[in-house]
Structure 1
Amino acid sequence: MKKPSDVFDRDNEWAALTRFAGDEAPGASLGVISGRRRQGKSFLLEALCEVAGGFYFSAQEATDTESLASIGDALTRHLQPVVPFAPANWGQVLDVLLRMGSERNLPVVIDEFPYLARANPALPSIIQGAYAPRRPERVASRTRLLLCGSAMSFMGGLLSGNAPLRGRASLELPIQTLNYRQAAKFWGIDDPQLALLVHAVVGGTPAYRTEMIRYDAPRNIADFDDWVVRAILSPGSPMFLEARYLLAEEPDLRDSALYHSVLNAIATGNTGRGGIAGQVGRKTNELAHPLTVLEDAGLISREADAFRANRTDFRIAEPLLTFYHAIMRPFWPQLTLAADTARIWQRAAHRFASNVVGPHFERVCRDWALHFSSTPDSRNRLGDWPVRVSSGTVNDSANRTTHEVDVVAVGHADDGRPPLLGLGEAKWNETMGLGDLERLRRIRDLVAKGGRFDTSGTRLLCFSGIGFSEELQDRQRRGEVELITLAELYGR
């Protein structure tokens, strides 16, 4: 099944869906598709149904009775029976869906499945019963049923533990946000500096460019400030309230004030449990639940320190949330009144550089090290493909200090100690020089003394959004350091 031309990228996801839909093995099969809202899940699944002649149904927030009537109407329009289909229960619906695949492979999509399950909590168990391995209706069917939803905590639990559908699904496919390189192509931005600035604000969510701001992208660097004011900070823009809606859309995030406070703490640089607890005003052990809920919702991620096993940092996974808490939330009353929005943006310029772009640049550098550092356009900068990339903290007892390391790339340990492939420093708005190289050398020596990693092949990397001194460039020519520019980060 050829991917439609209007589906951007998503080649791996399309391949997984078409393999599932085209599977010729006998018996009906079940798949689960998840992902946060506005990532293009529905667009992708509708395209699959159009190409394969399948059935697509999108649920709405409604009572169980109304939902049954809605899917009955949809099946009536699709099948055009002599008598309209008016199901009395979900068992009847599932039997019809299974019979639809009696003669050929048929993809069937039930989108926004959490709405249906909230109205009828027994629905996963009903599907489990319909998909019993020896049930004749399932054995005789080639229906390829796909359950899709945006409530990440709910969808994550659909196939886990003792859930009714555990072991029934042959496909579990998350639809992720576009990575920073894909996002630049999607937005049509060729300038790496502009691409990173835009990504630091809106991330890689496709709908933010299409439905939300109707393809309004900054024309160049000079237009970036005006674009932020008109497309993000303006109360008339759909993007203005989007960060607040992201939490409202998750049913498990009931205490929105607490969750916003946790996100605000992370966005302002308090990434450890102690720092978050101190800013929120809660005890550390009281944060376990809200942090887990935010992680299950896909809004934050936890990152283990590369050198301290007992330390974990939390990062906001959606850049728009970081932008909201660092830039918009402090000025919210003024912004809602549209009181000199351009001046507010100018006032927040320093916070944008230090709290938003700087940390985001470090994250992009880690993503590059993990996914792109060993590709041909990066000349195998790390010498091998890393299995883990994170940040780290190294204690320097001789100098009574600690060193924060932005990029720590660790390779696979075939036997013995894992190889430390690379140590990296990332600076968005500074020209890097010999001092940065000396600091990385010092850190490498300290890690070597610890004995936990094999540092014999460790490469030192400097990432800069501005550039490098002549002396540092000379050290690269001598093979002492790897200098990574914005252009290389974007494969240019």
Structure 2
Amino acid sequence: MNELRESILAVGTADPEAAVSVHALLGSDPALLARAGTLPRTRAEVPDWVKAGFLRPDSPFLELFAGGVAAALGEEPDESVDKILAAATVRPRTRYDLRAQTGLSEADLDAILPVLADAGLLRPDPNPLEPDDPFWTMDDRFARFHYAMLHQHLPRWRRGYITEKLWRLTKARFDRYVCRPEFNRLAREWALNDPAAAETTRITVPDPRFRQMRSLELAVWDEKGGLLALGTVRWRFQMVERQLKRLRYVKRLLGDPPARLYCVASRVDAAIAEDPDPGLFVITPAQLLRRGRGEAPDPAPQGAAAAADAAAEPSPDTLSDKARNAPESTPEGDLHPISRLVGGRNRRVG
């Protein structure tokens, strides 16, 4: 159930954000990690590591990632494939989204999407409100980095004359389209630790009043299709209060079910941390990577794995009744409003 978490911990980087960033590019493949040399120890070291290893002409991974799509397909991608994969890199897309973004016909998508899925480039993720129209999501690390960072400026990256300038222009894309999807997947996997959870998904909800679609990165469902929780995820930057307001607004659009609310971020506004709602939980990257006490770690864990095991969670049997409604890996203190202050000391409740 926690394959992604264990894979990220296997990277061996203690800083959670640095570990997610490295894993978003290389996974936990020992050969790729060895080829990458010294890994970044903190999130602040990631930009220089990416530039040196992936974006300079003499870097070990530039051509590997530039040719990743062709290697997966067995041929160079044509313009239609480029359009679809570039659109899916920005965010998961329904078929309607893909038609609108690419200008391709339904028949074109019928022919291309299965090929991309068979090649491991895209995967159809569940769309709970429209089960017959899945979210087509980027599923290949090489392709994701290629379309996020390399595709538009590949000749310039290869020449290497303006690497620093190109990085300044594209570094936001690295966070948004390379690291954030990995972090979203980790948050969904973490939410499955709730014993009642059967599935976690992205969700897109129609807003008739403003004639818009409202999207959330995390929705948790039980085996009967009931909504257990909704969550909003913020990678790297501080989560602001308007994101919590948006989360509650989407909950109201769904009929205001008795669902928990998750704010997943490294840092949050004081207004979120001090919110008295007992159904609101602030979750940090370190908590997403933390093992429960009942989970046996691998022998002699290193790096992030060792740090996570040092703070392993108690069994759900030892928690209060309110705590049993939260995922097993949720720290006890998160159930008390005061303890939701980032960096605050956990308090046992119940």
TM-score when normalising by structure 2 = 0.74
- Confirm or deny that 1:324 pairs with 2:324: no
**Contact 2:65 2:143 (C-alpha < 8 Å) held by counterparts:** yes
Q: For 1:430 and 1:390, locate their aligned partners in 2 and report how far apart those are by CA, in whole Å.
A: 22
Q: Which residue is equivalent to 2:208?
A: 397
Amino acid at match of 1:473: A
Matches within 5 A, 1:106-145: none
Q: Which residue is equivalent to 2:318?
A: none
- Confirm or deny that 1:188 pairs with 2:12: yes
Cα deviation, 1:115-158, whole Å, max 9, x if unaligned, reads xxxxxxxxxxxxxxxxxxxxxxxxxxxxxxxxxxxxxxxxxxxx
**Contact 2:263 2:281 (C-alpha < 8 Å) held by counterparts:** yes
Deviation at 1:218, TM superposition (A): 1.7
Deviation at 1:267, TM superposition (A): 1.2
Q: Which residue is equivalent to 2:264?
A: 463
Deviation at 1:428, TM superposition (A): 1.7
Out of 215, 218, 235, which is 2:57 matched to? 235
Q: Which residue is equivalent to 1:201?
A: 25
Cα deviation, 1:251-282, whole Å, max 9, x if unaligned, reads x6546224333212211347232333444442
**Contact 2:17 2:42 (C-alpha < 8 Å) held by counterparts:** no
Q: Which residue is equivalent to 1:120?
A: none
Q: For 1:242 and 1:253, locate their aligned partners in 2 and report how far apart those are by CA, in whole Å.
A: 14
Deviation at 1:369, TM superposition (A): 1.8
Q: Which residue is equivalent to 2:222?
A: 411
Out of 225, 232, 241, which is 1:425 matched to? 232
- Confirm or deny that 1:473 pairs with 2:273: yes
Q: In 2 relative to 1, CA 483–220 (structure 1 residues): closer, same or farther, beyond 3 Å?
A: closer
User: Counterpart of 2:232 in 1: which secondary structure?
Assistant: strand
Out of 253, 263, 273, which is 1:446 matched to? 253
**Contact 1:253 1:259 (C-alpha < 8 Å) held by counterparts:** no
User: Counterpart of 2:230 in 1: which secondary structure?
Assistant: strand
Where structure 2 has 5 or more consecutive residues not aligned to the other structure, the ranges are 291-307, 309-350
User: Counterpart of 1:208 in 2: which secondary structure?
Assistant: helix
Where structure 1 has 5 or more consecutive residues not aligned to the other structure, the ranges are 1-11, 13-177, 375-383, 450-454
Deviation at 1:219, TM superposition (A): 3.5
Amino acid at match of 2:245: E
Q: Which residue is equivalent to 1:484?
A: 283
Q: For 1:249 and 1:321, locate their aligned partners in 2 and report how far apart those are by CA, in whole Å.
A: 10
Cα deviation, 1:213-265, whole Å, max 9, x if unaligned, reads 3x331233332222111111123233112234433334x65462243332122
User: Counterpart of 2:123 in 1: which secondary structure?
Assistant: strand
Q: In 2 relative to 1, CA 435–487 (structure 1 residues): closer, same or farther, beyond 3 Å?
A: same
Deviation at 1:350, TM superposition (A): 2.3
Deviation at 1:333, TM superposition (A): 0.7
Q: Which residue is equivalent to 2:160?
A: 338
**Contact 1:263 1:316 (C-alpha < 8 Å) held by counterparts:** yes
Q: For 1:313 and 1:419, locate their aligned partners in 2 and report how far apart those are by CA, in whole Å.
A: 20
Cα deviation, 1:164-214, whole Å, max 9, x if unaligned, reads xxxxxxxxxxxxxx954334333220001111222233334443212x33x
Cα deviation, 1:440-487, whole Å, max 9, x if unaligned, reads 3332233237xxxxx34x21111113x1223322336x5130111111
Amino acid at match of 2:121: L
Q: In 2 relative to 1, CA 486–433 (structure 1 residues): closer, same or farther, beyond 3 Å?
A: same
Q: For 1:179 and 1:261, locate their aligned partners in 2 and report how far apart those are by CA, in whole Å.
A: 31
Q: In 2 relative to 1, CA 427–336 (structure 1 residues): closer, same or farther, beyond 3 Å?
A: same
User: Counterpart of 1:422 in 2: which secondary structure?
Assistant: strand
Q: In 2 relative to 1, CA 260–434 (structure 1 residues): closer, same or farther, beyond 3 Å?
A: closer
Amino acid at match of 2:97: G
Amino acid at match of 2:213: T
User: Counterpart of 2:131 in 1: which secondary structure?
Assistant: coil
**Contact 1:462 1:484 (C-alpha < 8 Å) held by counterparts:** yes
Deviation at 1:284, TM superposition (A): 2.4
Q: Which residue is equivalent to 2:128?
A: 306
Matches within 5 A, 1:49-448: 179-210=3-34, 212-213=35-36, 215-250=37-72, 253-254=74-75, 256-257=77-78, 258-269=80-91, 271-370=93-192, 373-374=193-194, 384-413=195-224, 418-448=225-255
User: Counterpart of 2:253 in 1: which secondary structure?
Assistant: helix
Higher Rg: 1
User: Counterpart of 1:404 in 2: which secondary structure?
Assistant: strand
Q: For 1:270 and 1:180, locate their aligned partners in 2 and report how far apart those are by CA, in whole Å.
A: 19
Question: For the aligned residues, what is the CA RMSD?
Answer: 2.6
Deviation at 1:405, TM superposition (A): 1.6
Figure out how many residues of one structure are paired with residues of the other and give that number. Answer: 290
Q: For 2:260 and 2:289, locate their aligned partners in 1 and report how far apart those are by CA, in whole Å.
A: 21
Identity %: 25
Q: Which residue is equivalent to 2:333?
A: none
Q: For 1:347 and 1:433, locate their aligned partners in 2 and report how far apart those are by CA, in whole Å.
A: 25
Amino acid at match of 2:239: M
Q: For 2:237 and 2:42, locate their aligned partners in 1 and report how far apart those are by CA, in whole Å.
A: 21
**Contact 1:200 1:320 (C-alpha < 8 Å) held by counterparts:** no
**Contact 1:253 1:293 (C-alpha < 8 Å) held by counterparts:** no
Deviation at 1:316, TM superposition (A): 0.8
Q: In 2 relative to 1, CA 403–243 (structure 1 residues): closer, same or farther, beyond 3 Å?
A: same
**Contact 1:409 1:420 (C-alpha < 8 Å) held by counterparts:** yes
Amino acid at match of 1:464: A
Amino acid at match of 2:218: V
Deviation at 1:434, TM superposition (A): 4.2
Amino acid at match of 1:420: L
Q: For 2:76 and 2:45, locate their aligned partners in 1 and report how far apart those are by CA, in whole Å.
A: 38
TM-score when normalising by structure 1 = 0.54
Q: In 2 relative to 1, CA 280–205 (structure 1 residues): closer, same or farther, beyond 3 Å?
A: farther
